């Protein structure tokens, strides 16, 4: 716990909200990009949680959660400190672009991955200003955060849910006893993370299994880096529609966050019910998967909704040609059972496109070693 905490120009003051700017970078035409910082500190000591949002430009529900959550009354009741950054990628937010114009890559894949930084390969692009800024911000986050929540939006009208990442641990250059100790630490972290997510109270969906997770560079997301490199319990909250935040989802995320603060000993009072939204408890672990996929170019008229539970073989959409005539069997069926997290946007699909975002039964372990080649690359 850091009692005297400063992030950018924001300096914590017990019992108050403090505001400031964190200098991200200055570009060649002299534009200074800063990240807005809000620090809420209670009068009593307690843990420090970082709440971050706005790394993806069209996702405006997360910043809304922080604007509703952070009130003078909260600072008055709080034990410990909240460091909130509602706008992690201002260029994306100002144009509502997922990939910002100034750095044409997914900004939520630019956080440190814990590998030794090799000398710059002259044939490869150097890290962007954005990546360098996140590397600096990461060090500040790691120095003070005991917990982190990063707020996002999945798809239009999707369920509000949490992505729970798997915990990976290093085995390179370690003896068998050291590996056992590292594994025990990873399992303890997984236990803390599960309890934190349970406190938040929305639907829980496990992230991809290890290989796909690393392929997708999810270990370099905000919460992935905090969790895997920093060993800090951290999760991604996915808050349904982004460009037009749903008031019920925002309220449920504010309540869920306050429940996390209670779990962490930062706030008193009973757990608030999460009854504004649909929460699915399947009774077994589920992971995300894009399924089923169309095998031809077609129109799909969905026949299932967000939150529906489907069985393998159930019809999930009508398949039509562009004139509206049935194609083939005329329907598309679920390939496996699970929960519909959301429908793929639109009705026109190309071969191989998924038509649903599903949560399906997860058989993979939540704790495991990094792939052997990870630290060699």
Binding site for Zn ion (CB under 5 A): 56, 59, 152
Q: CB-wise, 14 or 58, nearer to Zn ion?
A: 58
Q: Least distance from C-beta 97 to Zn ion, angstroms?
A: 12
Q: Least distance from C-beta 221 to Zn ion, angstroms?
A: 9
Q: Least distance from C-beta 167 to Zn ion, angstroms?
A: 21
Q: CB-wise, 152 or 258, nearer to Zn ion?
A: 152
Q: What's the token pair of residue 313?
A: 């073989």
Q: Least distance from C-beta 150 to Zn ion, angstroms?
A: 8
Residue 292, preceding bond cis, omega within 30 degrees? Answer: yes
Q: CB-wise, 152 or 289, nearer to Zn ion?
A: 152
Q: CB-wise, 47 or 224, nearer to Zn ion?
A: 224
Q: Least distance from C-beta 236 to Zn ion, angstroms?
A: 8
Q: In angstroms, rounded to a whole number, what is the distance separating the alpha carbons of residues 305 and 202?
A: 18
Q: CB-wise, 240 or 306, nearer to Zn ion?
A: 240
- Three-state SS string across the chain, please? CCCCCEECCEECCCCEEEEEEEEEEECCCCCEEEEEEEEEECCEEEEEEEEEECCCCCCCHHHHHHHHHCCHHHHHHCEEEEEEECCCCHHHHHHCCCCCCCCCCCHHHCCCCCCCCCCCCCCCCCCCHHHHHHHHHHHHHHHHCCEEEEEECCCCCCCEEEEECCEEECCCCCCHHHHHHHHHHHHHHHHHHHHHHHHHCCEEEECCCHHHHHHCCHHHCHHHHHHHCCCCCEEEEEECCCCCCCHHHHHHHHHHHHHHHHHCCCCCCCCCCCCCCCCCCCCCCEEEEECCECCCCEEEEECCCCCCEECCCCEEEEEECCCCCEEEEEEEECCCCEEEEEECCCCEECCCCECEEEEEECCCCCEEECCCCCCCC
Degrees (nearest 5) of the Cα angle 163, 316, 205? Answer: 10
Q: Least distance from C-beta 152 to Zn ion, angstroms?
A: 3
Q: Least distance from C-beta 52 to Zn ion, angstroms?
A: 11
Q: CB-wise, 57 or 230, nearer to Zn ion?
A: 57
Q: Least distance from C-beta 86 to Zn ion, angstroms?
A: 14
Q: Least distance from C-beta 138 to Zn ion, angstroms?
A: 18
Q: In angstroms, rounded to a whole number, what is the distance separating the alpha carbons of residues 305 and 374?
A: 39
Closest CA to 341 of 163, 120, 95: 163
Q: CB-wise, 150 or 362, nearer to Zn ion?
A: 150
Closest CA to 239 of 110, 35, 66: 66
Q: CB-wise, 152 or 287, nearer to Zn ion?
A: 152
Q: CB-wise, 62 or 317, nearer to Zn ion?
A: 62
Closest CA to 208 of 359, 325, 89: 359
Q: Least distance from C-beta 123 to Zn ion, angstroms?
A: 31
Q: Which residue is nearest to Zn ion (CB)?
A: 152
Q: CB-wise, 91 or 317, nearer to Zn ion?
A: 91
């Amino acid at each position: 716990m850091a009692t005297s905490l400063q992030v950018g120009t924001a300096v914590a003051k017990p019992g108050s909200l403090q505001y400031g700017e964190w200098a991200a970078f200055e570009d060649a035409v002299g534009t200074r990009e800063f990240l807005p910082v809000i620090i809420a500190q209670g009068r009593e000591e307690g843990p420090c949680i970082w709440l971050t949002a706005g790394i993806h430009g069209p996702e405006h529900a997360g910043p809304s959660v922080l604007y509703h959550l952070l009130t003078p009354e909260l600072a008055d009741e709080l034990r410990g400190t909240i460091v909130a950054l509602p706008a992690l990628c201002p260029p994306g937010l100002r144009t509502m672009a997922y990939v910002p114009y100034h750095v044409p890559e997914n900004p939520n894949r630019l956080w440190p991955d814990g590998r030794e930084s090799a000398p710059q390969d002259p044939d490869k692009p150097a890290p962007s200003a954005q990546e360098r800024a996140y590397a600096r911000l990461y060090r500040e986050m790691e120095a003070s955060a005991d917990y982190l929540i990063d707020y996002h939006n999945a798809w239009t009208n999707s369920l509000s849910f949490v992505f729970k990442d798997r915990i990976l641990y290093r085995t390179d250059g370690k003896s068998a006893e050291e590996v056992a100790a590292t594994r025990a630490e990873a399992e303890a972290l997984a236990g803390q993370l599960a309890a934190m997510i349970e406190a938040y109270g929305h639907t829980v969906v496990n992230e991809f299994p290890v290989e796909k997770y690393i392929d997708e560079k999810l270990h370099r997301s905000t919460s992935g880096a905090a969790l895997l490199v920093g060993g800090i319990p951290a999760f991604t909250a996915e808050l349904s529609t982004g460009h037009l935040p749903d008031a019920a989802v925002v309220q449920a995320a504010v309540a869920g966050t306050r429940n996390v603060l209670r779990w962490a000993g930062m706030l008193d009072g009973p757990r608030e019910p999460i009854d504004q939204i649909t929460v699915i408890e399947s009774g077994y672990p589920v992971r995300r998967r894009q399924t089923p996929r169309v095998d031809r170019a077609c129109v799909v008229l969905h026949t299932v909704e967000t939150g529906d539970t489907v069985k393998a073989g159930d019809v999930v959409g009508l398949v039509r040609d562009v004139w509206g005539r049935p194609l083939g069997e005329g329907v598309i069926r679920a390939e496996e059972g699970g929960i519909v997290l959301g429908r793929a946007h639109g009705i026109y699909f190309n071969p191989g496109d998924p038509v649903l975002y599903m949560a399906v039964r997860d058989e993979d372990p939540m704790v495991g070693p990094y792939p052997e080649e990870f630290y060699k690359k």
